[in-house]
Structure 1
């Protein structure tokens, strides 16, 4: 019994000692901007982590996302100053404790290059959806500047070239291609309607079956 009480006390102590974390999301920053950002982050007082996820489209070019259960004013001012030093005017948004990612004083730091939206930007991660054959739904598809990598049911990865051409996403396979239209519908989720980037196929291809799928990313927050 004493051991159980001691373990509980230790867990409470560790929980109390945990520092809030700043989660850094960035898009389209130049090398010099990234270097300047990294140098500035080292001067503020909270630990920070870079997160490789797309920034929700409804966010401004510079957004600080705070949990309204615990607002760290001094630390938030430090982060706002960093954004201003990079030439941005920060916006402050709030989320509830239900968003566990930002509970306990954690802060989201979202920064986009103001010119990043002038050109087409492909989301880095999507999932297949609305496939002609259900077995191909929910495959992971990752995008780099020139290539799309499909992770198949077997775990094998297939890398294909892609480009954005005349308003369509085009993925090349063998001697033909699959073409997708782009839309941004709201998607119903257990947490309400959320924005998305959706790429819908325009035609059927004979094979492979996983190219007869649309692709989508849903932005939860």
Structure 2
């Protein structure tokens, strides 16, 4: 009888347990770890860091959902966290690499493997295509691991930048902006000229001068 009561209590505890996020990280910088923790604290589900390696089969940013209970809004919010940190998440709705989730639990995998891009970041660029016009034309200078924006009032803001996957990522406090590189021809008074253009990928809350693309046009 006592064993029966014990089993019933365990079943009740399992039924009442709130879905959770199991967070696997690998090779993240200290800044990224801080940013990730802050963002996880801002979403509704409890989370737990798991000190195990990420399966090689998983992409750098992977979400693995529960097969029997899909939490769509929560999964989209977690994907947004990955995107804000400069990653492109892949979502698996079935078990993968012997990792299986149920009862609404979600696996969150983020690997900070830095990959050399097929282009160099120019030392000097300017902002363009800004959400707010007044931020167009700001000087942007890249030196080592820092990028310096000369703001509208003449002040200079120095931020950290990194390469992740196929993206340039600029970090500002607890947020990040990612950029996709291209080399379009740009119309100028002297005809079309080649450029290096880094188009911003998301509209972040601020600062607004990070909601700008970065560009240098080569005038021969």
Normalised by the size of structure 2, how large is the TM-score?
A: 0.46
